[in-house]
Amino acid sequence: MKRLFDIFSSLFILLILLPLFLLIAILIRLDSAGPVFFIQKRVGQNFMPFDLYKFRTMVVDASQRGPQITSAGDSRITKIGRFLRKTKIDELPQIINVLKGDMSVVGPRPEVLKYVEMFKDDYKNILKVKPGITDYAAIEFRDEECVLKKFKDPEGGYIKEVLPLKIKLYNKYVKERSLSTDMKLIFLTLWKIVKG
């Protein structure tokens, strides 16, 4: 049932948002040199790696210029990238991951291998389910970049304070997962976006 919902909803969203995708692609190319999409390895269900898609919001060599964690005001973020991150439009290409079956619409947010390895025992439970676009943690940490800006060392703050809180929320989802929980989280996500 969940997979059928993912397939039909992702197809519907992709068809509706195709004009927006084309506009964003043009703006990204006009703003800075490089590809439209940012593709990054993430850890999926049962620890299977997959390529996660996002609209590119940073300069091409961003990984050589700083950490994997990004805080608000990071100089590597492009002009259009700031808008895409603030509105979360940069996350929309993950609908492709949902259609492919790497992700679900609702589920724990997928993480990079580096951080999964640090909390491997926790992720043994979390990765019993497919990662998703939204969940309790995505709603709670919608302004994660602003939260990280408060730390002198954003990556250290992420590892020691933010990620442990997110893991608690991931486990909450795994424990409560159901169709009604998914519907509730989709509604809360949309409400958070509309509310700003």
pLDDT band with cut points at 50, 70 and 90 for residue 196: low
Question: How far apart are the two ends of the chain, measured CA to CA in Å?
Answer: 31
- Chain centre to alpha carbon of residue 136: 13
Please state, in angstroms and rounded to a whole number, the distance separating the CA atoms of residues 107 and 153: 28
Assign 26 to helix, strand or coil: helix
What pLDDT digit, counting tens, does each position of 157-180 carry? 999 999 999 999 999 999 999 999
Neighbouring C-alpha atoms within 13 Å toward the C-beta of 43: 18
What pLDDT digit, counting tens, does each position of 107-151 carry? 999 999 999 999 999 999 999 999 999 999 999 998 888 888 899
The DSSP letter of residue 93 is T
Quote the mean pLDDT of the chain. 93
CB 11 within 8 A of CB 99: yes
Whether the predicted model's global pTM rises above the 0.85 cut:
yes
CA angle 46/99/33 to nearest 5° reads: 100
